[in-house]
A and B are shown apart, each in its own frame.
Chain A
Amino acid sequence: MQRPRPHVSDRTRAYWESGADGRLRLARCQACGHYQHPPAPVCPSCRGRELAFEPVSGRGTVWSYTVNRYQWKEGMPPPYVIAEVELAEQPGLKILTNIVDCEPEAVTLGMAVTVRFDEVDGAYVPVFRP
């Protein structure tokens, strides 16, 4: 499977390069500790302006999922699983991702998953496995 490389901007570079050492990092408010994804320059919880990328556990649960049957991308033949994973750190902290390293039929709602990374030209795309 050849994923398209994400379009990386200055604001999101730290996120996409985080996986180089195998760890997922999310933007976190330095005032109140609230995580946010995608990263933005202000905390939606306390309006704090100081945010920094901090490592998270990389563990979460499948909030919802779907087995995609349609070829949207040249290098990505279906079927594959698209999912929203809710991270362990905070209720509602969700990442749109793929579930990998298992049969699509094995994925269930609420299933525990762990992050790993697919590198695409220096960008580390977080995906999740059981």
Chain B
Amino acid sequence: MTGKFEDSCVISGAFRSRSGRKLSVDPWELSVEAALGAIADAGLEVEAIDGLSTYPGPVGSTPGITAGGTQDMKAMLGLKTRWHTGGMEMPGQLGAVINAMMAVHAGLAEHVLCFRTVWEASAQRQVGSRAKALDDSAMLERTQWTSPYGVGYPNYGALLMQRYFAQTGATREQFGTLASVQRDNSLLNPHGQFDMPLTVEDYLAARMISDPLCLLDCDMPIDGSVAFVVSRADSNAIDAARAVRIEAVGSSLGYEECAAMMWSRTALRPRDIGAAQLYDGWSILTALWLEGLGLCEPGQGGRFIGDRARISRDGELPINTDGGQLSAGRMHGFGQLYEACVQVRGEAGERQVPGGRKPQVVSVGAADFTSCMLVA
């Protein structure tokens, strides 16, 4: 395909704020830290930012899932913007980045700041569980179907996992291997959330939340923020050598649909991929993305992630090289794209995947809230 909109823009800056379980830092402070970090990383003056994009905006589904919207950011940084958008209705969390790319391609902005902040660790302490918050919120239209049955978010992951096990013969040991490999990766990541390795035996002994989904299949709620700057590819103001290209995006609903769209927009093929940064809100989603993206044969996701050598940093297809959300914390999709940028730039230090600059595939979301990208 020629003249695709992805070619008009690059990620010129990327930054991840301090993050953790007990940061005791105001979440808006984290947003500002990431925003200013990304702008500086792009080599831009703050005044150069003329667009803003975020997910989910100032109003989220549950406490801690967001900290301020585009208008808050505009006010805080004193920006003069030409274009902005934010909200929950978009193709996955990275829809915020895709929207920014479209705005740059359309000429509505030259440098769009994209940001995502979570403070779910603090929210858990301050206001309790997400399940309770849903009952108290304006989502009663949806929760009438779940509340009488005592359904919490992880139960959805468990239902997926149970059926996946039954249909493919996948095992808990295989998912334990994925968790263990991701933990190893996170120990080499300054943003990692743990000090200790995790063995498959540790995983198998972990508290069961909803059979067969255990605590270590769930990502780790943290406070933190990640920001990117999406710039015109022909901008003279950015450092072209450090610019990261988005080779292709997928914005359809569903894993396979998203992947099919992405692969249709590029000559690259799964064999060209250097590493996969796959969403792991629950570990089962990583297996579903792996299959959906065509990185392994249908039904073979469990076997693939159960092969430690294959998915480790020096393996055939390294997965979640920063530790993923299981071990580097729930940055809600933006962490996966951040790690892809770091790897493509060759700035991952000890956890750098060997073999030189290779494209990374990034996927975020689940079910009917999905997006994926090839980062080159």
Contact = CB atoms under 8 A, between A and B. Distances in A.
B160 interface: yes
B163 interface: yes
A96 B149 contact: yes
**Which range holds the interface residue count of chain A?**
20 to 34
A8 B147 CA distance: 12
A70 B152 contact: yes
Contacts of A68: 150-152, 155, 158, 209-210
Interface string B197-210: 00000000001111
Nearest to B161: A66
Interface in B184-225: 207-213
Contacts of A16: 144
A122 to B, nearest CB: 13
B148 A67 contact: no
Given A4-B147, A7-B141, A96-B149, A82 B131 contact: no
Interface stretch (A28-36, A41-49, A50-58, A72-80): A72-80
A65 B162 CA distance: 7
B145 A4 contact: no
A4 B135 contact: yes
B150 A98 contact: yes
B1 interface: no
The 8 closest A-B pairs by CB, nearest first: A66-B158, A64-B163, A7-B140, A76-B150, A72-B152, A6-B144, A67-B211, A72-B131
B143 interface: yes
A56 B144 CA distance: 21
B268 interface: no
A5 B150 CA distance: 11
B149 A82 contact: yes
- Among B141, B151, B152, the one with the most A-chain Cβ atoms within 10 Å of its Cβ is B151
B150 A72 contact: yes
A67 B145 contact: no
B233 to A, nearest CB: 40
A68 B102 CA distance: 42
Contact of A4 (B148, B154, B207): B148
B146 interface: yes
Nearest to A120: B148
Contacts of A83: 159
Nearest to A80: B150
Interface string A59-100: 000011111111011001000101110000000000011100
B144 A8 contact: yes
22 contacts: A3-B149, A4-B135, A4-B147, A4-B148, A7-B147, A9-B144, A38-B145, A64-B160, A65-B159, A65-B162, A66-B158, A66-B161, A66-B162, A66-B213, A68-B155, A69-B207, A70-B210, A73-B131, A76-B150, A82-B210, A84-B159, A127-B149
A127 B146 CA distance: 12
- Among B143, B208, B209, B211, the one with the most A-chain Cβ atoms within 10 Å of its Cβ is B211
Nearest to A97: B149
- Among A68, A80, A109, the one with the most B-chain Cβ atoms within 10 Å of its Cβ is A68
Nearest to A109: B166
B129 interface: yes
A60 B166 CA distance: 18
A3 B143 contact: no
Interface in A1-26: 3-9, 12, 16
A69 to B, nearest CB: 5
A9 B141 CA distance: 8
Contacts of A27: none
- Among A64, A76, A118, the one with the most B-chain Cβ atoms within 10 Å of its Cβ is A64
A68 B214 CA distance: 11
